């Protein structure tokens, strides 16, 4: 068994433009995305050095405009003017690497070759020139993410899982691990970003049930676009193919909007702001905000006071305009998707799941293009795409830790959050599929009719943990007509849940072939996670009370069954003719007492038990006498 670590352990998505941290919360059965001190769930991957201090995250990004050459955008975009270094592209590479040499020409700051041909960034910090390697810059972001988690957890954090792109080579992975060590963190494991996203959706659990599963991960972030095709089988995640563009992402969409608005400002005010880096920076910030708004609204406003030379700028941009400005880029994304599938020699129809990752995959047009391409396939998008990687990293971290109980019982719709069952006689919940069963699943149970010539049986389907059926959540009810038959006619009831969490309950009486069923989807009447939590707590609370109810129902059923059998025997002339008159009277008055008791269910359990014993002793001693004769 793999080594177990001590918790709490966190998952960190060390992103190109934004980073995100999450932690598994056993009591809630899910990972929690942790917000930073500004209340945001993702934190800019920025580090800035000033004469007084070093800033990381939001504060670094906020002052970037006034201090561009000393702001190290940890993993930066080369196309913008104020950005200084690209640690995610520098990390684990040699200075002489052609990728670095190409980008260096665009950077307004200095990168030099250090020991071993390792690239080093030169920044000015507290008045002095300082040389930093990419690992050191990454470590500062990791440290910040760790601090955010410690504040939330109110305890020190030592262990973490950190994610990297699937195409990272060994030295880039090792360098990322070193960055953790510099930050004082033990990096328990480095995992691929697409693997983390698949973990977040619990897709490996589905693979365990249905064998092999092909998962397509579409990650459109701030500055990079990565697609990966994973094959999941049992617990293993195989990267079949990756493709992408290291200069395509949200910032390009921002830039398109910026260029459009620069033109508009020129037209309206006869002024060109394209050479003014401060004005451009303010406009770019406003554009990013507007772009986010356009993901849920059809238009967004831009309002900037004194943008240039004291002139205010006000504009409205529609979603349609935004899409038009970026359509060629969106289509380029789709071309890359196609080339990834071609590399893997896989038809799109063989893809089982499509997972959306990266903040920019929230853009409705991008989602629509993808939906159209993958046809009827639903996109996995119920976890925020810019949080899915951190979520999965937190899941992996918890799996590596001691004392975490609920992780395997993950995630979203992959297990039943509450037990499912049907009511049986006496308002007792008879569980067919216990809570936390992996789905898809199918279980059949045999029940029987309770009365002679019963015209139909009622199937009441409940979810919940209470032993008293009516205290649970009633999901559905149906009646199955049955043929006339004595009590005890078998009815087969089958509960099946498909991979999407849709429950179908069918009941069948096999001798007549009568069958009926009901389908219960997640939408109708299923509970929210808060309600589920409350129900589980309540079930624990009412356990002993419920147990009393169940015991009484059992005692009543036992008495009823005994009476039924007695009645059958007492109808048989060959038996009754042999009974003495005294025994006959004794038996029939005991039976009347029993039947009255069944009708009066106010009595305590022991009364039913006692009466049953009395019946048994009267009946058995009478029968013994007959058998002797």
Catalytic residues: 13, 88, 193, 219
Q: How many CB atoms neighbour CB 138 within 10 A? A: 28
| Measured distance CA(354)–CA(374) in Å, rounded | 8
Q: Output 194 or 501, the one with its CB closest to Mg ion.
A: 194
Structure tokens at 349: 């129809």
Identify the CA nearest to 178 among candidates 111, 104, 100, 87: 87
Q: Output 15 or 392, the one with its CB closest to Mg ion.
A: 15
Q: Output 194 or 221, the one with its CB closest to Mg ion.
A: 221
3-state secondary structure of 458: strand
Shortest Å, Cβ 467 to ligand ADP: 45
Shortest Å, Cβ 293 to ligand ADP: 8
| Measured distance CA(21)–CA(31) in Å, rounded | 10
Instruction: Candidates 7, 202, 222, 464: give the one binding ligand ADP (CB under 6 A).
Output: 222
Identify the CA nearest to 215 among candidates 339, 357, 366, 20: 357
Q: Output 165 or 501, the one with its CB closest to ligand ADP.
A: 165
Among Mg ion, ligand ADP, none, the one that 11 touches (CB under a kind-dependent 5 to 8 A) is: none
Instruction: Candidates 11, 15, 68, 92: give the one binding ligand ADP (CB under 6 A).
Output: 15
Shortest Å, Cβ 10 to Mg ion: 16
Shortest Å, Cβ 321 to ligand ADP: 15
Q: Output 120 or 386, the one with its CB closest to ligand ADP.
A: 386
Phi, psi (rounded to 5 degrees) for 105: -65, -25
Residues 3-19 as b/e (b if ≥16 CB within 10 A, e otherwise) read eebebbbbbbbbbbbbb
Long-range pairs for 570-578: beta carbons < 8 A, 24 or more residues apart: 575/626, 578/626, 578/629
359 binds Mg ion, rule: CB under 5 A: no
Among ligand ADP, Mg ion, none, the one that 42 touches (CB under a kind-dependent 5 to 8 A) is: ligand ADP
Instruction: Candidates 358, 392, 417, 421: give the one binding ligand ADP (CB under 6 A).
Output: 358
Shortest Å, Cβ 479 to ligand ADP: 48
421 binds Mg ion, rule: CB under 5 A: no
Site string for ligand ADP, 283-302 (x = CB under 6 A): -----x--xx--x-------
Q: Which stretch binds ligand ADP (CB under 6 A): 149-157, 196-204, 246-254, 501-509?
A: 246-254
Token pair 């004082």 in the structure block, residue: 184
Assess contact for 162 and 393: CB atoms under 8 A: yes
Shortest Å, Cβ 249 to ligand ADP: 6
Assess contact for 366 and 319: CB atoms under 8 A: no
Among ligand ADP, Mg ion, none, the one that 288 touches (CB under a kind-dependent 5 to 8 A) is: ligand ADP
42 binds ligand ADP, rule: CB under 6 A: yes
Long-range pairs for 292-299: beta carbons < 8 A, 24 or more residues apart: 292/362, 294/318, 294/319, 294/322, 294/363, 295/362, 295/363, 295/364
Residue 14, H or E segment: none
Instruction: Candidates 221, 244, 385, 392: give the one binding Mg ion (CB under 5 A).
Output: 221
Q: How many CB atoms neighbour CB 535 within 10 A? A: 22
Please give the size of the binding site for ligand ADP, defined by CB under 6 A: 22
Q: What is the dihedral of CA 310, 314, 317, 322, to 10 degrees?
A: 0
Shortest Å, Cβ 20 to ligand ADP: 7
Window 485-514: residues binding ligand ADP (CB under 6 A):
none
Instruction: Candidates 103, 135, 251, 546: give the one binding ligand ADP (CB under 6 A).
Output: 251
| Measured distance CA(325)–CA(577) in Å, rounded | 98
Window 382-401: residues binding ligand ADP (CB under 6 A):
386
> Rg (Cα) of the chain, in Å, rounded?
34
Q: Which stretch binds Mg ion (CB under 5 A): 10-18, 266-274, 513-521, 594-602?
A: 10-18
Q: Which stretch binds Mg ion (CB under 5 A): 14-22, 411-419, 467-475, 583-591?
A: 14-22
Instruction: Candidates 256, 362, 435, 466: give the one binding ligand ADP (CB under 6 A).
Output: 362
225 binds ligand ADP, rule: CB under 6 A: no
Q: What is the dihedral of CA 209, 210, 213, 215, to 10 degrees?
A: -60
Q: How many CB atoms neighbour CB 96 within 10 A? A: 10
Shortest Å, Cβ 12 to ligand ADP: 12
Q: Output 119 or 223, the one with its CB closest to ligand ADP.
A: 223
Q: DSSP code of 5? A: B
Shortest Å, Cβ 399 to ligand ADP: 23
15 binds Mg ion, rule: CB under 5 A: yes
419 binds ligand ADP, rule: CB under 6 A: no
| Measured distance CA(391)–CA(511) in Å, rounded | 51
Q: Output 254 or 414, the one with its CB closest to ligand ADP.
A: 254
Shortest Å, Cβ 165 to Mg ion: 8
Q: Output 68 or 249, the one with its CB closest to ligand ADP.
A: 249
Q: Output 304 or 489, the one with its CB closest to ligand ADP.
A: 304
Neighbouring-strand partners of residue 358: none
Among ligand ADP, Mg ion, none, the one that 471 touches (CB under a kind-dependent 5 to 8 A) is: none
Structure tokens at 393: 């990293």
11 binds ligand ADP, rule: CB under 6 A: no
Q: Output 248 or 491, the one with its CB closest to Mg ion.
A: 248
Identify the CA nearest to 29 among candidates 421, 381, 501, 435: 435
Neighbouring-strand partners of residue 48: 55, 71
Phi, psi (rounded to 5 degrees) for 124: -105, 120
Structure tokens at 223: 């500055």
Q: What share of the chain is helix, strand, coil (3-state, %, to 5)?
A: 40, 30, 30
Q: Which stretch binds ligand ADP (CB under 6 A): 58-66, 166-174, 359-367, 464-472?
A: 359-367
Token pair 């020129």 in the structure block, residue: 266
Q: Output 222 or 417, the one with its CB closest to ligand ADP.
A: 222
363 binds ligand ADP, rule: CB under 6 A: yes
Collect all residues with Cβ–Cβ distance below 8 Å to 28 and sequence separation of at least 6: 529, 533
Interface with Mg ion (CB under 5 A): 15, 221
**Site for ligand ADP, rule CB under 6 A:** 15-18, 42, 221-224, 249-251, 288, 291-292, 295, 358-360, 362-363, 386
């Amino acid at each position: 068994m793999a080594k177990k670590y001590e918790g709490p352990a966190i998952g960190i998505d060390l992103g190109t433009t934004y980073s995100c941290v999450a932690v598994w919360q056993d009591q809630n059965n899910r990972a929690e995305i942790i917000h930073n001190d500004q209340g945001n769930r993702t934190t800019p991957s920025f580090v800035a050095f000033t004469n007084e201090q070093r800033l990381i995250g939001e504060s670094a990004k906020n002052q970037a405009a006034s201090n561009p050459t000393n702001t190290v955008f940890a993993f930066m975009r080369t196309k913008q003017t104020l950005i200084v270094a690209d640690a995610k592209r520098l990390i684990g590479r040699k200075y002489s690497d052609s990728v670095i040499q190409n980008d260096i020409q665009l950077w307004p700051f200095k990168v030099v070759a250090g020991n071993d041909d390792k690239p080093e960034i030169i920044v000015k910090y507290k008045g002095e020139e300082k040389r930093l390697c990419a690992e050191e810059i990454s470590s500062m972001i990791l440290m910040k993410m760790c601090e955010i988690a410690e504040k939330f957890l109110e305890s020190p954090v030592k262990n973490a899982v950190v994610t990297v792109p699937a195409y990272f080579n060994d030295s880039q992975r090792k360098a990322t691990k070193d960055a953790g060590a510099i930050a004082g963190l033990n990096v328990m494991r480095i995992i691929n970003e697409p693997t983390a996203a698949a973990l977040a959706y619990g897709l490996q659990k589905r693979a365990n049930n249905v064998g092999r599963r092909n998962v397509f991960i579409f990650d459109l972030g701030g500055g990079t676009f990565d697609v990966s095709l994973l094959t999941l089988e049992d617990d293993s995640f195989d990267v079949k193919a990756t493709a992408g563009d290291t200069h395509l992402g949200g910032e390009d969409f921002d830039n398109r909007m910026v260029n459009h608005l620069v033109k508009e400002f020129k037209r309206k005010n006869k002024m060109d702001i394209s050479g003014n880096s401060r004005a451009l920076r303010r406009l770019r910030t406003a554009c990013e905000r507007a772009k986010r708004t356009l993901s849920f609204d059809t238009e967004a406003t831009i309002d900037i006071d004194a943008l240039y030379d004291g002139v205010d700028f006000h504009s409205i941009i529609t979603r349609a305009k935004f899409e038009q400005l970026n359509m060629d880029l969106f289509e380029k994304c789709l071309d890359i998707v196609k080339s990834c599938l071609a590399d893997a020699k896989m038809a799109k129809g063989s893809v089982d799941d499509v997972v959306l990752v990266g903040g920019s995959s929230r853009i409705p047009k991008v989602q629509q293009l993808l939906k159209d391409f993958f046809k009827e396939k639903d996109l996995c998008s119920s976890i925020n795409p810019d949080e899915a990687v951190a979520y999965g990293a937190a899941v992996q971290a918890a799996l590596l830790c001691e004392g975490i109980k609920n992780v395997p019982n993950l995630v979203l719709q992959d297990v039943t959050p509450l037990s499912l069952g049907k009511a049986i006689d006496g308002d007792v919940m008879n569980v067919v599929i216990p809570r936390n069963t992996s789905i898809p699943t199918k279980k059949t149970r045999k029940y029987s009719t309770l009365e002679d010539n019963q015209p139909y049986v009622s199937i009441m389907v409940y979810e919940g943990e209470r032993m008293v059926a009516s205290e649970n959540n009633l999901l559905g009810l149906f009646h199955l007509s049955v043929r006339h038959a004595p009590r005890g006619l078998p009815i087969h009831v089958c509960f099946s849940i498909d991979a999407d969490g849709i429950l179908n309950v069918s009941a069948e009486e096999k001798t007549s072939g009568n069958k009926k069923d009901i389908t219960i989807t997640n939408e109708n009447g299923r509970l929210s996670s808060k309600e589920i939590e409350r129900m589980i707590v309540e079930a624990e609370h009412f356990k002993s009370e419920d147990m009393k109810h169940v015991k009484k129902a059992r005692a009543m059923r036992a008495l009823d069954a005994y009476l039924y059998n007695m009645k059958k025997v007492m109808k048989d002339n060959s038996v009754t003719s042999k009974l003495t008159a005294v025994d006959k009277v004794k038996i029939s008055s005991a039976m009347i007492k029993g039947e009255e008791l069944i009708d009066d269910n106010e009595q305590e359990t022991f009364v039913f038990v006692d009466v049953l014993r009395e019946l048994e002793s009267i009946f058995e001693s009478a029968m013994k006498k007959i058998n002797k004769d």
